[in-house]
């Protein structure tokens, strides 16, 4: 019911930026980071990988998720009320956390910024010029056998498996309805998640998930492999071995001064969602022309300077827009 993510070999910056990324589809970048010292250590042994990481660890404790053994590694909601989670958030020195991975509990430390928690790691294990963005942020994700429910991220993402094996199940953005997404404001880690267990989907309870599976793409990665995940693609991640580690790099293609699209979504929930249907449809037409530009460039009869607030991006335009938004808030 699913298809395999397309795999690419010998990927360099030119191939990625000119061919792979413009397709806006997931792509396995085989052995992209196979020469990283971290990967070489992991291929030798789990102990070697852990020792390598400990050599970079800062003294500050790391935050991590801890769940009982009976959750099967699935960090999720505690019950059907969807207002509590089935795990706790703890902190411990990194070496203590690593030593505990061999225990029965489900343990997972995610989105640990390399610059803060592992200074020097990124210099020795780098994607080089593959991502020409000053906004790139690299993080470490590490744990035992765990399952992260399908969710989406706003930035572009390259996820590099550096220890263990991981299985990714990905869904196009348009499958939102078929993924039975939980609350947007009570979430395990900040992003809304699918309520479906991708390992054992209950199609009686979630029948439309069968439609999502028809267009799902699956990739299994080993140490050295990487996965390109385009912005807003849903992805569930399963760690298949008792010890696994992943380094990801997030980045945005627009300048930082433009802000997050998620802020616009929240503002729309406040200002547009509850309008009468006819008014919502009218606003859809306005957005389609000015923002999404489905019928071509907006206001083509005007010069860019004449378009003003809807002209080309710039720090000045961003500042003027923010000032006006504050007046309307």
Rounded to the nearest integer, the mean pLDDT of the chain is 95
Q: Is the pLDDT of residue 329 over 80?
A: no
Give the pLDDT of residue 48.
Answer: 96
pTM: 0.94
CA–CA dist 178, 180 (Å, integer) = 6
Q: What is the mean pLDDT of residues 266-270?
A: 94
Give the pLDDT of residue 255.
Answer: 86
Q: Is residue 63 located within the same domain as residue 193?
A: yes
Domain boundary at 251, 279, 298, which?
251
Q: What is the mean pLDDT of residues 130-134?
A: 81
Scanning the chain, the segments in alpha helix (DSSP H) are 13-15, 37-44, 46-54, 94-100, 114-117, 121-124, 209-214, 261-271, 277-287, 304-307, 315-328
Give the pLDDT of residue 145.
Answer: 96
Q: Is residue 194 located within the same domain as residue 278?
A: no
Q: Provide DSSP, 142-163.
A: EESS-EEEEE--SSEEEEEEEE
Domain that holds residue 264: 257-328
User: What digits encode the pLDDT tens for the residues 28-72?
Assistant: 999 999 999 999 999 999 999 999 999 999 999 999 999 999 999
Domain boundary at 217, 251, 285, which?
251
Q: What is the mean pLDDT of residues 310-321?
A: 91
Give the pLDDT of residue 134.
Answer: 74
CA–CA dist 99, 92 (Å, integer) = 11
CA–CA dist 146, 199 (Å, integer) = 11
User: What digits encode the pLDDT tens for the residues 107-116?
Assistant: 999 999 999 9
Q: How confident is the model at residue 247 (pLDDT cuts 50, 70, 90)?
A: very high
Give the pLDDT of residue 275.
Answer: 97
Query: The domain spanning residue 90 has which CATH number?
Result: 2.60.120.650
How many domains in the chain? 2
Q: Is residue 208 located within the same domain as residue 277?
A: no
């Amino acid at each position: 019911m699913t298809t395999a993510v397309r795999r690419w070999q010998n990927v360099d910056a030119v191939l990625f930026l000119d061919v792979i990324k413009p397709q806006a589809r997931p792509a396995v970048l085989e052995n992209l980071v196979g020469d990283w010292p971290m990967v070489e250590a992991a291929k030798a042994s789990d102990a070697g990988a852990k020792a390598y990481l400990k050599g970079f660890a800062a003294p500050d404790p790391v935050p991590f998720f801890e769940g009982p053994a009976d959750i099967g590694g699935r960090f999720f909601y505690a019950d059907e009320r969807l207002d509590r989670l089935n795990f706790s958030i703890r902190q411990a020195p990194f070496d203590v956390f690593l030593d505990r991975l061999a225990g029965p509990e489900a343990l997972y430390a995610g989105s640990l910024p390399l610059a803060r928690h592992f200074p020097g790691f990124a210099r020795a294990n780098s994607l080089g010029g593959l991502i020409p963005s000053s906004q790139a942020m690299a993080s470490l994700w590490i744990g035992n056998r765990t399952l992260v429910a399908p969710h989406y991220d706003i930035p572009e993402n390259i996820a590099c498996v550096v220890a263990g094996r991981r299985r990714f199940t990905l869904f196009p953005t348009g499958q939102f309805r078929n993924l039975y997404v939980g609350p947007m404001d009570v979430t395990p880690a900040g992003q809304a998640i699918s309520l479906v267990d991708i390992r054992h989907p209950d199609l009686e309870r979630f029948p439309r998930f069968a439609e999502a599976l028809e267009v799902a793409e699956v990739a299994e990665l080993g140490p050295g492999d990487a996965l390109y995940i385009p912005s807003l693609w849903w992805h569930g991640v399963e760690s298949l071995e008792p010890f696994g580690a992943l380094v990801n790099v997030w980045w945005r293609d627009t300048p930082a001064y433009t802000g997050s699209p998620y802020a616009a979504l929240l503002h729309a929930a406040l200002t547009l969602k509850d309008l009468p249907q006819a008014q919502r449809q009218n606003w859809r037409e306005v957005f389609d022309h000015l923002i999404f530009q489905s019928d071509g460039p907006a206001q083509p009869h005007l010069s860019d300077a004449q378009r003003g607030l809807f002209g080309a991006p710039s720090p000045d335009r961003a500042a003027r827009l923010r000032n006006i938004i504050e007046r309307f808030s």
